[in-house]
A and B are shown apart, each in its own frame.
Chain A
Amino acid sequence: MHLTERRIGNALVLAASGRIDHASAEDFKTALQPHLLQCKTGGDVVVLDFSGVQYISSVGLRVLMLAAKQTKSQGGAIAVAALQPVVKEIFEISKFTLVISCFAGVRDALAQLSPSALAAYGSA
């Protein structure tokens, strides 16, 4: 799975697409892992732009849980933004909104995680 990368100040916006299921979750994990290393105190904040994600299964959610756990232990911040309606419902039913921060859009996520990146996002 390919993550489209966009840097906005200290924020790394990673756009995923398609289905994150039993067939693709491992690829998603592999693609995400290098970016998590810099998501630490004083480092990047990571926003996962899910506007192109049509479905996420339990194994995909587990990848997000591990990412949230890792970044928290590193003092970093990670969030998911722009969930499609079906994916949003899956997050709500699984109670995953309690595991990782979810925002309506990338702008909302930046507003919470990095005001400086938000300013850059506004001028972009």
Chain B
Amino acid sequence: MLIRFWGSRGSLPVSLNTAALQEKLVKALVAAAGKGLDTEDKARAFIASGLDFPVSHTFGGNTSCVEIDNGTGEYVICDLGTGVRVFGNHLLDMHGHQKTNTFHVFMSHMHWDHIMGFPFFTPAYLPGNRIRIYGCHEALEHAFRRQHAAPSFPVDYDRLAATIEFVQLKAGRPYDIAGMTVTAMLQAHSGDSYGYRFQRGDKSVVYSTDSEHKLADPRETEAFISLFRDADLVIFDAMYSFAESVSVKEDWGHSSNIVGVELCQMAGAKRLCLFHHEPTSDDERTASIWRETQRLEEITRTDAPLEIIAAYDGLEISI
């Protein structure tokens, strides 16, 4: 399976501003001094290997949208944040407007940052496309219709030409969808959210965002260990520092890198992907959290290594 991150940012879309871009250029130019980069190919090679990650990359600013490419030819998407606009446009660039597709969309919940990309998802406007939106919330369809309604958006939901279906799931029950076994689990978040485990053969991916872990109830911890058990990849809400998540931002519905590492270690997961990055964190800050998390895994490791990854818009992970 191939996992593509179209949107990795939490809560609110952000963009790299001029000051941040110029700071990257300053660092890159200083690092390149004396390297004889007199052709574009040499410069590209240097960018690929000679610069620190937050200088050569940006984590990006689109809100939650992750694609699970399982090779079946149908598209599987987690959440419809602003990243889905880029995903939709990419498909049209690749295949044009004529090719129709089936999309399976799994919604963690309907907070704005997780649905706000849908009005800009061009395949929804094209007849012949089929979009099945799965979720455990009763108000799933209502949230999408309301977002399209005046005065919030100029194109009413009923003018979308694709065939759109809403499919109610029950948490804890396995479903066979798009060639995978999919199981949803209730998570602690304002208005509830749901994490998903996707299993295809011996490969498994967990998408668990917008989830607070109170740590007070061992049964809750055991339930998450079960959801994450032996997963090849766990995509995890690591928006806050642990200190924030249990103090000033308690009950804000998000988690930390510390809890992500612990749950994955206890579950024997292979990879932890830090996700739903705090919108006020710049690339340096997010990269620093990534490095610290790698270090935490190293010093607390008691079994097989857990690979620590930080999501960024454009990242692909093969499992």
Q: Which residues of A are interface residues toward B (Cβ below 8 A)?
A: 22, 55, 57-59, 61-62, 65, 69, 86, 89-90, 92-96, 98-99
Q: Which residues of B are interface residues toward A (Cβ below 8 A)?
A: 213, 215-216, 218, 221, 241-244, 246-247, 256-259, 262, 266, 292-293, 295-296, 299-300
What residues on B are CB-neighbors of A59 within 8 Å? 215
Q: State A94–B299 Cα separation when bound (angstroms).
A: 13
What residues on B are CB-neighbors of A62 within 8 Å? 215-216, 246
Q: Secondary structure of the B side of the interface? A: helix
- Asked if residues A65 and B246 are in contact (CB atoms below 8 Å), the reply is yes
- Asked if residues A95 and B243 are in contact (CB atoms below 8 Å), the reply is yes
- Asked if residues A94 and B215 are in contact (CB atoms below 8 Å), the reply is no
What residues on A are CB-neighbors of B213 within 8 Å? 58
- Asked if residues B215 and A65 are in contact (CB atoms below 8 Å), the reply is no
What residues on A are CB-neighbors of B242 within 8 Å? 58, 61, 94-96
Most chain B beta-carbon neighbours within 10 Å: one of A58, A86, A98: A58
- Asked if residues B221 and A86 are in contact (CB atoms below 8 Å), the reply is no
CB proximity of A97 to chain B, nearest CB, Å: 8
CB proximity of B312 to chain A, nearest CB, Å: 21
- Asked if residues A55 and B246 are in contact (CB atoms below 8 Å), the reply is no
Query: Nearest 5 A-B pairs (CB), nearest first?
Result: A95-B243, A94-B242, A95-B241, A93-B292, A59-B215
- Asked if residues A58 and B243 are in contact (CB atoms below 8 Å), the reply is no
What residues on A are CB-neighbors of B299 within 8 Å? 86, 89-90
Q: State A59–B217 Cα separation when bound (angstroms).
A: 10
What residues on A are CB-neighbors of B241 within 8 Å? 94-95
- Asked if residues A89 and B247 are in contact (CB atoms below 8 Å), the reply is no
- Asked if residues A89 and B262 are in contact (CB atoms below 8 Å), the reply is no
A22-B218, A89-B295 as given contacts; A94 in contact with B262, CB under 8 Å: no
Q: Whose C-beta in chain A lies nearest to the C-beta of B221?
A: A22
- Asked if residues B247 and A65 are in contact (CB atoms below 8 Å), the reply is yes
| Contact among B216, B221, B243, B266 with A94 in the assembled complex (CB-CB below 8 Å) | B243
Q: Whose C-beta in chain B lies nearest to the C-beta of A68?
A: B247
A–B pairs, 14, beta carbons within 8 Å: A22-B262, A58-B242, A58-B259, A59-B215, A61-B243, A86-B300, A89-B295, A89-B296, A90-B296, A90-B299, A94-B243, A94-B258, A95-B243, A98-B243
CB proximity of B206 to chain A, nearest CB, Å: 19
- Asked if residues A93 and B215 are in contact (CB atoms below 8 Å), the reply is no
Q: State A61–B246 Cα separation when bound (angstroms).
A: 9
Q: Whose C-beta in chain B lies nearest to the C-beta of A89?
A: B299
What residues on B are CB-neighbors of A61 within 8 Å? 242-243, 246, 258
What residues on A are CB-neighbors of B292 within 8 Å? 92-93
CB proximity of A89 to chain B, nearest CB, Å: 6
A58-B259, A58-B262, A59-B215 as given contacts; A90 in contact with B243, CB under 8 Å: no
- Asked if residues A95 and B262 are in contact (CB atoms below 8 Å), the reply is no
Q: Whose C-beta in chain B lies nearest to the C-beta of A87?
A: B299
Q: Whose C-beta in chain A lies nearest to the C-beta of B300?
A: A55
